[in-house]
């Protein structure tokens, strides 16, 4: 839930204006609007990568404002995947779990489940630098969901390389939403990506919501 959320950048530019919004558990929400309308700023504030000027962000009953990014039950699919090329696929997926100091057996079973889900079990031992782009994209999504986040944040830069990659990514994030029950917040400026059945499309202009509709 976002309540009266505002963002003014240090140079005085107002990027998000008094945004209030309620999102249900398990929804697939798409923020849609022209470049510069504030979509990524919202995502970054939810993720904790950007300070909030005023307003509140809740996840369930928890006020997220003062909770460190890594302690929010969220995952972000990062631009350019941000994988460690000298590590293998297994270790990249396991990273977040190891940071949480989970027991080895639990890490192992979670990594294997994620690998199975994304059909990348056969490349777990391969170094990132030798796998292809499609595989990297899936490893990045595997790493995002392996910690069982309540919400997955996906910025449009995540798969900007080509149309085919974007379609695959859309398919994968829909599966993550439907089959794993994870709420997905997706940002796009492409109208064609706002026509998927079941999504809630939030149209924005100049930092404000102009329309909300369920597809």
Residues that bind ligand ADP (CB under 6 A): 9, 11, 13, 15, 33, 35-41
Residue (35 or 132) nearer to ligand ADP, CB: 35
Q: How far is the CB of 143 from ligand ADP (least distance, A)?
A: 23
Rounded to the nearest 10 degrees, how much is the dihedral formed by the CA atoms of 38, 189, 151, 13?
Answer: -10
Q: Where are the alpha helices (DSSP H) in 51-120?
A: 89-99, 104-117
Q: Which two tokens stand for residue 2?
A: 């976002």
Residue (39 or 138) nearer to ligand ADP, CB: 39
Residue (89 or 184) nearer to ligand ADP, CB: 184
Look at residues 16, 3, 20 and name the one whose alpha carbon lies nearest to residue 64.
3
Q: How far is the CB of 173 from ligand ADP (least distance, A)?
A: 17
Q: Which two tokens stand for residue 128?
A: 């990132």
Q: How far is the CB of 207 from ligand ADP (least distance, A)?
A: 7
Q: How far is the CB of 146 from ligand ADP (least distance, A)?
A: 27
Residue (147 or 204) nearer to ligand ADP, CB: 204
Q: How far is the CB of 160 from ligand ADP (least distance, A)?
A: 12
Asked if 190 and 31 touch (Cβ cutoff 8 Å), the reply is no
Residue 190 buriedness (CB in 10 A; 0-12 / 13-18 / 19+)? exposed
Residue (15 or 183) nearer to ligand ADP, CB: 15
The H or E element that residue 149 is part of is none
């Amino acid at each position: 839930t976002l309540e009266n959320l505002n963002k003014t950048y240090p140079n005085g530019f107002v990027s998000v204006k008094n945004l209030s919004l309620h999102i249900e558990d398990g929804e697939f929400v798409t923020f849609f609007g022209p470049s510069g309308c504030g979509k990524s700023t919202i995502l970054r504030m939810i993720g904790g990568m950007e300070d909030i000027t005023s307003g509140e962000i809740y996840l369930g009953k928890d006020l997220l404002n003062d909770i460190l990014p890594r302690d929010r039950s969220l995952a972000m699919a990062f631009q350019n995947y941000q994988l460690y090329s000298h590590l293998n696929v297994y270790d990249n997926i396991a990273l977040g779990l190891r940071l949480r100091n989970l027991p080895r057996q639990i890490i192992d079973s979670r990594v294997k489940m994620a690998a199975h889900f994304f059909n990348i079990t056969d490349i777990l031992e391969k170094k990132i630098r030798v796998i292809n782009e499609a595989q990297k994209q899936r490893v990045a999504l595997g790493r995002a969901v392996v910690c069982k986040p309540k919400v997955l944040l996906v910025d449009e830069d995540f798969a900007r390389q080509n149309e085919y990659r974007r379609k695959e990514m859309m398919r994968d994030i829909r599966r993550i939403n439907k089959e794993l029950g994870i709420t997905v917040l997706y940002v796009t400026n492409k109208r064609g990506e706002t026509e998927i059945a079941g999504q809630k499309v939030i149209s924005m202009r100049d930092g404000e919501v102009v329309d909300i509709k369920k597809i």
